[in-house]
Amino acid sequence: MSIARNIIVERAGDTQVGARRVELIERKGKGHPDTICDSVMEAVCISLCREYRGLTGHILHHNIDKGLLVAGRSAVQPGGGKILEPMKIIFGDRATCEYHGIKIPVAEIAEEAASRWLKENLRFVDPGLHILFQNEIKPGSAELTDLFSRSVVGANDTSVGVGYAPLSSAESLVLAVEKELNSPSFKLAFPETGEDVKVMAFRDRDSVTLTIAVAFVDRFIADAATYFKRKEAVREALLAFVAAQGHPFAKITIELNMLDDHTRGEGGIYLTVLGTSAEGADGGEVGRGNRVNGLISFQRPLSLEAAAGKNPVRHVGKIYNVLARECAGRIYREIEGIEEVSLFLCSQIGQPIDRPLSASAHIIPADGVTIEDIREPVTAIIDSELASINHFTERLARGEFGIC
């Protein structure tokens, strides 16, 4: 029964995020140190789920959400620099290494999964040359590990997950621009652009300023003059891409690599050897990057949970954030008369994950629509999603949902 799940539907106000005067939105691309951490630890989690199931028939206790990327050292140089000291990826937190006499090679699984993700996503990073792996994964506590032997799936934390729909036009623009910058076609046209990209949008009414950082790869840049020429070509290509998106904005300004200084020659340009600042400037950490919808939207409700690497069948810090996103999207798509919806799911440790302490939907209805008009169908969707949560977590364990 839906009453047992404590589903609450209430009005959130009258003004959608996209209709307010200001929006601030950020996205960190796949080569950003924080996104590397998130993506690598999530890849490790998915591999562990697969190996646990193959070896034991069950997904065992693990949380790999305390990962850290320590920046290396590099000497950039137009025409091609070199790596002086490799980056270090530290795997942290807890995982089951033995189950009923079956040994699980957690460290080897983690390194293989991380190496595979790095090879597939960062063109110039060779894990064997440019990465040192440090395994600090320890066995889980007896109390938390015991949750996995219980017949009822209980939450292993007291936490809140949040999701919303729809994305605003500015949020969609930020996602589109970063994905374009890191698309195969853009890399073919501009191989000098690295995967380390960050996009920050400031929307003031119908005017948007995109401040974008893109790590350029030094082997493709002969000198400072070439850099500034190619930088302008990238900016023009992005403006053309944005214009083709059919956005509703009166003006879009794109500012690229704002620290560049023409007066300093080769000392005033943003170059990297491998296309990521992690090679010699910035470290990264799980949970400091994008939320599970790929954005950091400062006018939206945000969870501070680090979803990447968390266990997908017990840890509500992951489950509820992704489920809230998916459920909010379904509510918006399927129920007429909703302008915007935010969904908050709160768990209690040890309690069944399909019975949250609270499932609270905050809705901005369309003109002429009341909360009473939509309360029943909204409640029904939340109830059905929670009722099928075991199917959802199985999909989550297979990596079917993007989370960064």
pLDDT at 263: 84
Candidates 3, 6, 15; CA nearest to 363 is: 15
pLDDT in tens, the chain (404 residues): 344 578 999 999 889 999 999 999 999 999 999 999 999 999 999 999 999 999 999 999 999 999 999 999 999 999 999 999 999 999 999 999 999 999 999 999 999 999 999 999 999 999 999 999 999 999 875 445 555 555 566 888 999 999 999 999 999 999 999 999 999 999 999 999 999 999 999 999 999 999 999 999 999 999 999 999 999 999 999 999 999 998 999 999 999 999 999 889 888 899 999 999 999 999 999 999 999 999 999 999 999 999 999 999 999 999 999 999 999 999 999 999 999 999 999 999 999 999 999 999 999 999 999 999 999 999 999 999 999 999 999 999 999 999 99
Candidates 75, 77, 73; CA nearest to 85 is: 73
pLDDT at 320: 97
The beta-strand segments (E) located in 207-315 are 207-217, 251-256, 271-272, 284-285, 296-297
pLDDT at 140: 73
Q: Find where tokens 């690598």 sit.
A: 40
Predicted TM-score of the model (pTM): 0.94
The beta-strand segments (E) located in 257-313 are 271-272, 284-285, 296-297
Q: Domain 18-28+168-285 falls in which CATH fold?
A: GMP Synthetase; Chain A, domain 3 (3.30.300)
DSSP single-letter state for residue 139: P
Q: What's the sign of the alpha-carbon dihedral 401, 64, 387, 168? A: negative
Candidates 285, 270, 362; CA nearest to 40 is: 285
How far, in Å, CA of 113 to CA of 116, rounded?
A: 5
How far, in Å, CA of 228 to CA of 96, rounded?
A: 51
The beta-strand segments (E) located in 206-246 are 207-217
How far, in Å, CA of 316 to CA of 346, rounded?
A: 9
How far, in Å, CA of 108 to CA of 271, rounded?
A: 33
pLDDT at 156: 87
Q: Is 401 exposed, middle or buried (0-12, 13-18, 19+ CB in 10 A)?
A: middle
pLDDT at 326: 98
How far, in Å, CA of 148 to CA of 40, rounded?
A: 24
Buried-state track 282-308, b at ≥16 Cβ within 10 A, e below 16: ebbbbbbbbbbbbbbbebbbebebbbb
How far, in Å, CA of 148 to CA of 312, rounded?
A: 12
> 98-99 and 94-95: which strand pairing?
unpaired
Question: Do 63 and 312 touch, CB atoms closer than 8 A?
Answer: no
Tally of CB atoms within 10 A around 169: 18
Residues in the chain: 404
